[in-house]
Amino acid sequence: MENPETPFVGTGPLDASFDLLARQEAADQALTALRSDIAEVKSRLDRQHRADSRLPLGGSTSPQSSSFTENYLRRGQEAELKSLTIGAPADGGYAVPTQLDARIAERLTAISPIRAIAQVVQTSTADYRKLISLGGTVSGWVSESAARNATATPSFAEIVPPSGDLYANPSASQQMLDDAAFDLESWLAQEIATEFGRAEGAAFVSGTGTNQPSGFLSTPIASTADATRAFGTLQYLASGDAATLGTAADGLLIDVVMTLKAGHRQGAVWVMNAKTLSAVRKLKDADGAFLWQGSLIDGQPDRLLGYPVVEAADMPDVAAGATPIAFGNFQNGYIITERFGTRLLRDPYSNKPFVNFYATRRIGGQVLDSEAIKLVKIAAS
């Protein structure tokens, strides 16, 4: 007699076929569930990517930068910064993450005309020094077995670019900060870079050297040639007229180019403001051809006598005694030093209901090689 509680287990081919179909159906159901889980995870990642992809300069937000933005910049939670910063200066503030600092530096280069053509050095200390060789080493020719006499000892000059703390203080309302769609990092980088660019652009041209860079137009000038002029003094060529560029301005500009040493002419540029550019663009050579050569390629600068022209709003206008035109290799001729890292202090109290972001950056600058830059001076001689 059969036990009713014992299930029938078949052993024939038909039973094996039913068993195979049941297992295949279970596998299909498991695969369908797995695909659904994968689609859900992908959907979450896509939503997160769209929420975090507000980066106009490219790249992705690092966890450090994101935490700094969300916890400190938006909400003012300073406790979150203990593991993110290297410390705070005496007057408060924190070193911003590398991601945000790189944004500021990139936009600053695009805004500041002299920074874009000069030599920029990142330093870890406020005191940067550089030795410049003034020549003096004597060489000679000898035979293979002849004695080598001692050569003269080269002389050096030490360059210590004066520097100062450059600051910006953009403001945003708390309502803007609370808006998740507001790209705080991009806005902050743009505001800081714009203020920094405006201030440092003037300092690199005519800075006094007291708590700020020493501008190249603040450097002593003389009309003597490179071989006889004192180190650290720029050479100028007079326009031949006490108040204008003179009637022979085309020949003057050619003389300026040829006065610069051949090695410095590789990479040299013209620097002047818009008003001076307007006057220079009207100049013609003896055959009636314009000296100015407009660029035929998008993104490439216009050229004057074959060399790029950089417009710097802080250059002086054409006037008696002014030096409105500079020509030279600024990579060799002018050095900009900056202590790496922007400091930032969130201040919600001074300008309520707005939140101020007080940013500082230590920047210095000075003429590096006084033979690499030439000036045009508005003077009779």
Average pLDDT over residues 340-356: 84
Query: What tokens appear for 275 in the block?
Result: 């008003």
354 and 299 belong to one structural domain = no
In a domain, 164, yes or no: yes
Average pLDDT over residues 332-353: 87
pLDDT value of position 59: 42
Q: Diameter of the chain by CA atoms?
A: 133
More confident of the two residues 56 and 148 = 148
Model confidence at 85: pLDDT above 50: no
In a domain, 85, yes or no: yes
Average pLDDT over residues 367-371: 94
pLDDT value of position 103: 82
What is the tens place of the pLDDT at every residue in 140-193?
A: 788 888 888 777 777 778 888 999 999 988 888 888 888 877 888 888 889 999
In a domain, 92, yes or no: yes
- Kindly list the distances between the CA atom of residue 197 and the CA atoms of 166, 202, 283, in Å, as whole numbers in the listed order: 10, 9, 31
pLDDT value of position 350: 86
Q: pLDDT confidence of 52, banded at 50, 70, 90?
A: very low
| H, E, C per residue of 204-270 | HHHCECCCCCECHHHCCEECCCCCCCCCCCEEEEECCCCCCCCCCHHHHHHHHHHHCCHHHHCCCEE
The values of phi and psi at residue 133, to 5°, are: -75, 130
242 and 348 belong to one structural domain = no
Here the CATH number for the domain that contains residue 159 is 3.30.2400
Q: How many domains does the chain have?
A: 2
In a domain, 21, yes or no: no
- Kindly list the distances between the CA atom of residue 327 and the CA atoms of 87, 218, 257, 293, 337, in Å, as whole numbers in the listed order: 43, 16, 7, 16, 22
Model confidence at 89: pLDDT above 50: no
Query: What tokens appear for 318 in the block?
Result: 């054409």
247 and 289 belong to one structural domain = yes
Model confidence at 247: pLDDT above 90: no
Q: What is the rounded CA–CA span in Å between residue 377 and residue 112?
A: 24
Q: Which residues, 6 or more positions from 157, have their beta carbon under 8 angstroms from its beta carbon?
A: 131, 132, 134, 231, 232
What is the tens place of the pLDDT at every residue in 27-50?
A: 778 788 888 878 777 776 665 555
* Alpha helices (H) in the chain, listed in sequence order: 13-52, 63-67, 98-111, 113-117, 174-178, 184-206, 249-259, 262-265, 274-280, 330-333
Q: pLDDT confidence of 369, banded at 50, 70, 90?
A: very high
Question: What residue numbers bound the domain in which 362 lies?
Answer: 63-134+153-211+337-367
186 and 207 belong to one structural domain = yes
Q: What whole-number percentage of the chain has pLDDT above 70?
A: 80
236 and 279 belong to one structural domain = yes
Model confidence at 343: pLDDT above 50: yes
Average pLDDT over residues 314-329: 96
pLDDT value of position 174: 82
183 and 231 belong to one structural domain = no
Tell whether pTM > 0.85: no
What separation, in Å, do the N-terminal and C-terminal C-alpha atoms of the chain show? Answer: 132
pLDDT value of position 370: 94
pLDDT value of position 78: 61
Adjacent-strand bridge partners of 165: 362
Here the CATH number for the domain that contains residue 261 is 3.30.2320
Q: Is the peptide bond before 308 cis (omega within 30 degrees of 0)?
A: no
207 and 344 belong to one structural domain = yes
237 and 182 belong to one structural domain = no
In a domain, 34, yes or no: no
In a domain, 121, yes or no: yes
271 and 346 belong to one structural domain = no
In a domain, 181, yes or no: yes
pLDDT value of position 58: 39
234 and 293 belong to one structural domain = yes
What is the tens place of the pLDDT at every residue in 256-296?
A: 999 999 999 999 999 999 999 999 999 887 777 888 888 77
More confident of the two residues 65 and 376 = 376
326 and 342 belong to one structural domain = no
| H, E, C per residue of 288-316 | CCECEECCCCCCCCCEECCEEEEECCCCC
pLDDT value of position 151: 73
Q: In which element (H, E) is residue 131 found?
A: strand 130-133
Q: What is the rounded CA–CA span in Å between residue 313 and residue 366?
A: 19
Q: What whole-number percentage of the chain has pLDDT above 90?
A: 39
The values of phi and psi at residue 310, to 5°, are: -110, 125
244 and 346 belong to one structural domain = no
